[in-house]
A and B are shown apart, each in its own frame.
Chain A
Amino acid sequence: EDQVTQSPEALRLQEGESSSLNCSYTVSGLRGLFWYRQDPGKGPEFLFTLYSAGEEKEKERLKATLTKKESFLHITAPKPEDSATYLCAVQAGAGNQFYFGTGTSLTVIP
């Protein structure tokens, strides 16, 4: 069975304290790995797509990387406005559906 696991479940950082979120996956035929940000009461907001091992994408303070078994979302010098739940999703096999992880709830304290 395809699995997507995110860790940690929750993370509290001081403003400026860099860290990484992990998404590990066991799927057959990865088509893409996606990172989303979800604010309370809102839908997932697309951040990045990664397609193959070794690929990296950056956007402001966020950098996503991909290996054959996991992806990391690195947050450099976070600010309070980066507080949100970060979701990882994979698309695999013949279908178009996304398989989501349970997310990491990030809180950045001023």
Chain B
Amino acid sequence: EPEVTQTPSHQVTQMGQEVILRCVPISNHLYFYWYRQILGQKVEFLVSFYNNEISEKSEIFDDQFSVERPDGSNFTLKIRSTKLEDSAMYFCASSPGLRWGQPQHFGDGTRLSIL
């Protein structure tokens, strides 16, 4: 069964550094998402991406964050000037298309630890 893959599984970074989290969505999916989950808290929406542009973003997704689809398969989340509170699990998800109500399929996440 097709799946969303994320790399790395764990990223440790010094505060103030930039990180890039990578995702390969399911190949025929058109919508891509990033969510984060701080330890012990709920999964929170960051951003959705369609047709090579951001379609929605939450209040969390400020100028520190950016997303990119650099080629036909990868989808990346860049976090600049990382802070301690950016430590969390970051999940990438994808869904098939334009119709509402379609499930999003999640990768296994990248655990980001900011020191």
Which residues of A are interface residues toward B (Cβ below 8 A)? 31-32, 34, 36, 41-46, 49, 51, 87, 89, 91, 95-103
B31 nearest CB across to chain A (Å): 6
Task: Provide the residues of chain B in CB contact with A43, threshold 8 Å.
Answer: 4, 6, 91, 93, 106-109
How many A-B contacts at CB < 8 Å in the complex?
A: 63
**A45/B106 in contact, CB under 8 A:** yes
Instruction: Determine which residue in B45, B91, B103 has the highest number of CB atoms from chain A within 10 A of its CB, and name it.
Output: B103
Q: Contact between A97 and B108 (Cβ–Cβ < 8 Å)?
A: no
SS class, residues of chain B in contact with chain A: strand
Complex partner residue of B91 from A34, A44, A102, CB under 8 angstroms? A44
**A95→B104 contact, CB < 8 A:** no
Q: Report chain B residues within 8 Å CB of A95.
A: 48, 56
Q: How many residues of B contact A (CB 8 A)?
A: 27
Given contacts A43-B109, A44-B91, A95-B56, whether A100 and B101 have CB atoms under 8 Å apart is no
8 A Cβ contacts from B58-115 to A: 58, 91, 93, 95, 100-109
Q: How far is the CB of A96 from chain B (nearest CB, A)?
A: 5
Min CB distance A82 to B, Å, is: 19
Distance of A98 Cα from B95 Cα, bound (Å): 12
